[in-house]
Amino acid sequence: MIRYGTAILIAAGACVATGVAACGDDSVAPIMTGTGGSANAGGSGNTDTGGSGNTSGGGGASGSAPTGGCMGECCPSDATCYSTSAGKSAPGGECMARIQNTPKHIQLRQTWIDLVAPKGNTIPIVLKTLNTYTQLKETACNTPDGASGYMQAVDLDLEAGVSTVGYVKYTDPATALSDGICYVDIGTGVDSANPDMGWHDVADYAMEKNFDFALPADQMSSTAGWPAGLPAPMPQPWKVTATKAKQLTADFDLSKDREDLIKKLAPDGELGKDGFSGVFYYDDKLGTSHGYSPLSYNIIYDSPPMGATTPQTMIVTPIREAELKYRVNDPAAPNCVGKYLASALEPATGCVDPGMTGAMADSKNAWGGIFNTNKGEGDAGVLGYFLITELEQIYSRVLGMTLCVSYPTLDKSIMDGWATMTEKRCRKSSKWDPMKADNAGLPMGDWCAKTNKPADDKCHDAYQSKSFHAFQAFKIKKDHCKPF
């Protein structure tokens, strides 16, 4: 799928396997339940044995959290914003859930994202745009500017032991609410007849018309020392579909199980040969999920061109080794991950979500967690990384640079000799030589794909991704869709 010249912004970290996790450091800490206290406030228990409490642990021993529906003057009054005519007090009212899930079948749509890393993803234009794109255009539900271009969905079928997570086709609110949302295939599955064989970034760059941002195979970074089965850096085109994850009977620890999981998920591996590209573990007592996928994709639709009602193009970003966790608010009625912070919004401004997050939002965050109440964080998140040689194949029209340049920030890329004020493509630097030993011909990323650990002077071929999310129950179609 060739994308001509309308790419809108930087891609962001996102959930990819079965869940997502609170990620305040370089590991993904489990969201556990303490031995007492109020789950809304973090409780008087911590993630281990009780005691003074913290925002990611705490809560009642039952594993559920008191929610009380949507509370605050800015809660929408229109019943269409909720799962039943009960409106604010409907099941999942605290996150404006649109359907009622069962403990064995959980369908969720992302409503909010906060980006922590890479640094280039934390700038206001990205935070504001992506949080507009996570929203449906629903004035009655306080999202009059919703753009529907960054719609991620989770379908957790515990009867089948399968989770499907991916991005869905751009849709208008009425269609989404009546028919459900639909996972996108690009160059594969229902879109296998795509003449471009996948997503291929061709766009106008400065005075260069239809510049091909793909890199040849001999400019992919080295895979020396990588675990067997970890997908190598990819030239375009990229074939994209949702992640299909296999349920495990016991939780895993990547510090011990990484190589084994990668091997099993390789195309010829024990799980890969059956079509699985990820794994997950779900604790039905606590409502927590832990997932992992060696390779998945983020999809962001561009704005519709003038005179059109739907987008014509998109950008795609591969995300590597996404380790994910989330915690539903109530395991018996798993309709929400996190909640709508109606009390933080301003009735005087129409209760409109400002779209900013974290420190950028001051006290105006529209979404947050029930168990993790840290400002700008939540009960869902993801850790992963982006390979530099793949980022260099993706162009942001708004920023006028490749993601290789923007992710560390333009200023740092210029300071380190990878860009100038007029040339914002890493490949044009005289230093660019991706196959050079010890990643010496790449920018100094902060992550190492070989070890899935922080970078050092011998391995720095990636940038880590950290993000937090909120989700609401939403109908998801079983069949996949073509992207346009």
**pLDDT tens-digit series, residues 399-416:** 899 999 999 999 999 999
pLDDT of residue 353: 76
Q: In the chain, what percentage of residues exceed pLDDT 70?
A: 84
430 part of a folded domain: no
Q: pLDDT of 59-77, one tens digit each?
A: 333 445 555 799 999 999 9
Does residue 449 lie within any of the structural domains?
no
Contact 234, 220 (CB under 8 A): yes
Q: Is 247 helix (H, G, I), strand (E, B) or coil?
A: strand
**What is the C-alpha to C-alpha distance for residues 38 and 201, in angstroms, rounded to an integer?**
49
- 379 three-state secondary structure: coil
State whether residue 459 is helix, strand or coil: strand
- Look at residue 58 and tell me whether its pLDDT is greater than 60: no
Which secondary structure element, helix H or strand E, spans residue 317, and what is its range? strand 314-327
Q: Where does 61-213 show beta strands of DSSP type E?
A: 105-117, 152-157, 162-167, 200-205, 208-212
Both tokens assigned to 191: 């879109």
Stronger pLDDT, 29 or 464, i.e. the higher one: 464
Mean pLDDT throughout 64-92?
88
Nearby residues of 448 by Cβ (< 8 Å), 6 or more positions away: 454, 455, 456, 459, 460, 461, 462
Query: Region 332-361: what's the mean pLDDT?
Result: 81
Is 50 exceeded by the pLDDT of residue 476?
yes
Domain that holds residue 26: 2-221+228-402+459-473
More confident residue, 42 or 217: 217
What residue type is 161 in one-letter code? G
Q: How far apart are CA 400 and CA 455, in angstroms?
A: 27
Q: How many CB atoms lie within 10 A of CB 436?
A: 13
Instruction: Say if CB 337 and CB 95 are below 8 A apart.
Output: yes
Say whether pLDDT at 10 is over 50.
Answer: no
In this predicted model, what pLDDT tens digit does every residue of 312-326 receive, in sequence order? 899 999 999 999 899
Split at pLDDT 50, 70, 90, the class of 265 is: very high
The more confidently predicted of residues 63 and 284 is 284
What integer is the mean pLDDT of 276-280?
98
| Sign, CA torsion 147/402/461/265 | positive
What is residue 122's three-state secondary structure?
coil
- Count how many residues are written for the chain: 484
Tell me the per-residue pLDDT of 104-159, one tens digit each, with 9 for 90 and over.
999 999 999 998 989 988 887 788 888 889 999 999 999 998 899 999 999 999 99
CA within 13 Å, CB half, 38:
6
Q: How far is CA 291 from the centre of its chain?
A: 13
DSSP 8-state code for residue 187: S
Query: Rounded to 5 degrees, what are φ and ψ at 135?
Result: -100, 145
Q: pLDDT at position 34, please?
A: 36
Residue 28 structure tokens:
């993904």
> What sign results for the dihedral spanned by CA atoms 347, 349, 354, 360?
negative
Q: Is 420 among the domain residues? A: no
Residue 277 domain-assigned (yes or no)? yes
pTM value > 0.85: yes
250 assigned to some structural domain:
yes
Compute φ and ψ for 59, nearest 5 degrees: 100, 165
Contact 179, 476 (CB under 8 A): no
Q: State mean pLDDT over 240-266.
A: 97
Contact at 8 Å (CB) between 363 and 346?
Answer: no
Domain total in the chain: 1
Closest CA to 469 of 386, 371, 364, 376: 376
Q: Where are the alpha helices (DSSP H) in 348-423?
A: 388-391, 403-406, 410-415
11-56 per-position pLDDT tens digit? 454 444 434 333 333 444 434 333 333 333 333 333 332 333 333 3
Q: Which of 268-277, 334-343, 372-381, 441-450 has the lowest mean pLDDT?
A: 372-381
- Encode burial over 183-193: b for 16+ CB neighbours within 10 A, e otherwise: bbbbbebbbee
Query: Tokens for 151?
Result: 């719609």
- Asked if residue 424 lies in contact with residue 446, where contact means CB atoms within 8 angstroms, the answer is no
Confidence check: pLDDT of 227 > 80: yes
DSSP label of 221? P
Q: Average pLDDT in the 380-393 region?
A: 96
Report the phi/psi class of residue 463: left, alpha or beta, with left for phi > 0 and alpha for psi in -120 to 50.
beta
**Over 90: is that where the pLDDT of 264 sits?**
yes
Q: Which of the residue ranges 95-99, 276-280, 351-355 would you say has the lowest mean pLDDT?
A: 351-355
3-class DSSP assignment, residue 294: strand
Mean pLDDT, to the nearest integer, of 385-400? 94
Task: List the alpha helices (DSSP H) in 114-196.
Answer: 124-133, 173-179
Tokens of 308: 């059109």
Nearest CA among 162, 322, 152, 159 for reference residue 245: 162
Average pLDDT of the chain is 86
Q: How far apart are CA 269 and CA 261, in angstroms?
A: 9
User: How crowded is the C-beta side of 161, counted as CA atoms within 13 Å?
Assistant: 8
Q: What is the pLDDT of residues 360-381, one digit of tens each?
A: 555 567 899 999 998 888 999 9
What pLDDT is recorded for position 13?
A: 46
Retrieve residue 158's tokens.
Answer: 């515990």
Please give the structure tokens belonging to residue 111. Answer: 């409503």
Q: Is 475 helix (H, G, I), strand (E, B) or coil?
A: coil
Is 424 part of any domain? no
3-state SS, residue 419: coil
What is the maximum span of the chain, computed from C-alpha positions, in angstroms? 63
Of residues 255 and 124, the one with the higher pLDDT is: 255
477: tokens are: 């179609």
